[in-house]
Structure 1
Amino acid sequence: SELRAALAAERIALGTTSDTEAIGALVAHDPSPLPQAVARAMARLEGAYSVVLLSEGKLVGFRDPHGIRPLALGRLANELGGDDWVLASETCALDLIGARFHREVRPGELVVIDEKGLESVQALPEGRQALCIFEHVYFARPDSSLAGSEVHGVRVRMGERLAAEAPVEADLVMPIPDSGTPAAVGYSRQSGIAFTEGLIKNRYVGRTFIEPDQRLREQGIKLKFNPLAEVSGKRLVIVDDSIVRGSTMRQLVAMLFDAGALEVHVRISSPPIVSPCYYGIDFADVEQLAASSRTAEEMRDLIGATSLYHLSLEGMQAATRLPEQSVCRACFTRSYPTRVPLEQNVAKLRFERV
């Protein structure tokens, strides 16, 4: 990247491909006092970042000028009867330690916390608001709040809108656990079709969509899910948050048919993912994104489902109750809030794995 090239020219060596290391190097090699060094580093960055660092008795948090990634500021009661300040990437972390949510760090804001309290500086002018909408779809924990709404409720509303947009006659609604559960609850509630678990998840197996090798992903899926006997002889609606490569959904659909399902209707609580993410979510290269070069019918054929429907862009947006202009939807629309070097379309997303 341009930043890495600039650091190399300044003879600053980096040991990993982590963006966080590059940001830390900018700050560490700046002779200015810490707040000024952070502000100067922010001015050289482009893209998504919400960073918390601890140094010299100071806790510092800062967020990119578009607010693509969340950063929460909380207050925690101390033994002296006052409050200490807390920074966290999600509000659920504040709940865990008994802290109270105060507000979100503003886009482009730099907060410095020390024994004197909190100092806030608008280090960069706020750009167009562009909170990642995939935080609502998948990335954030359901018990966190984003832009004033609890994520679980947003996902339930996505499921309700999905049922309104794509009704189907079926016997059971079931999620792909755990990511599809809130939307499946919403789909069941709106449609009146009974909700069931249907698939039991082995929680000792990690996430499969980020495995670098297709063979490892497929092996992980078989270890991760097992269908219940009640799916036999039933018409199923299975709900998930998204389809990336399509390999997971294809195997799950086949697994349910093998278990005796009569029909498997797939409902996805977000639009088709057609473009890579340059802002920290490990989507595949554009060539591997199943929906980037396929029609809806070709997608249905790829996963082997009886039917397939993705929630509309308008339905997803309405479920968030946020203005369209305040979110990033680039993975669904190919319209990015920042400059994206097209020549890095493939290379930028090949993370080094050891």
Structure 2
Amino acid sequence: MLAYRSSGFYHLIMKVKKEIDKSNVKFDLNLRWYDYFFLLRPVLWIPVWTFLFLGYFWGSALETFNFTLILPWKFWAILGLYSLMMSSVYIINQIVDRESDLINNKLFLIPYNIISIRTATIYAIILALVSLIVVYFLGVKFVILFILSYLLGMAYSVKPVELKARPIADMLANAIGYGVLAFLTGWAVTGKIQGRAFIQSFGYILFVSAVFINTTIPDIQGDQTAGKYTIGVFLGARNATILSSILLFLAFIYSFLEFDVFLMIPSLVGLPIFIISIWDESMQMAKISYRAVSFLFVLMVALRFPLFLALGILILILLRIYYTKRFMINYPSLTGR
């Protein structure tokens, strides 16, 4: 099977399938100027922003039950630059994943060649260079965190490392990328990164690991067809959900010990959903499990920072309009794509 997938014949089959799929598509395959914005995967900015805000919150030692309306200009500069740099990684990931995305019928811009691989690659390079050059003027510590985040993102997507195709490593890469590097980047805005920052981030490592596992479950069939060996493929849906439930439980215990309300409530509410999904192995239940828990987690942080809430709502509205009008699908949603 592996030999078949690595052969030219497999790619020929994929090419034929792509042409068949193109002939049956119901959306316009012509490029629109706003496609370049949505190629950035702004939906993934929201979890990145969540951990940037959390890092800033803990680094500033703010009160939990309060609101922060005004943040320093440096925080907003870092948030914008970090988002652009991560979008560079997301574009490369879409290029690498174009075959499996075609099978799973998602992220249409590159799989259907609406935006060419060459154009997307140039776009990604420009985003990475601009963000790294500009952030240099904000401090060396940010340059280091940006480079580490970028290298981890590339290692996640690109061969020969390709962490996303290595079970456990794919989970850890996401956990470290969000729960540690993005978190520390937000913390660094407040001053020196202390040892306390790493202790505080451990609960987020557990939480992100649990959520990530469940995100791989709906794509198991498509990933198997494309030869991707994710943690979901490796464990199978049932065992993967058991592991994610254990990790979410540990995240709750850790949040209780640290009195981290942002982590405590989503973990507590999410546990029953994760446990139910152990027996209900449907794709719909898997999507509900990670989307509901992620939404509540983001909402907890957004309520603490109202400007984040406003930005998040704006992004979700734009995404809903775009995917409804452009591709005629219900996205973002709890049970849709």
TM-score normalised by the shorter chain: which range applies?
0.3 to 0.5
User: Relative to total residues, which structure has the larger strand share, 1 or 2?
Assistant: 1
Per the normalisation by structure 1, the TM-score is: 0.32
Bigger CA radius of gyration: 1
The answer to which structure, 1 or 2, has the higher relative contact order (CA under 8 A, 6+ apart) is 2
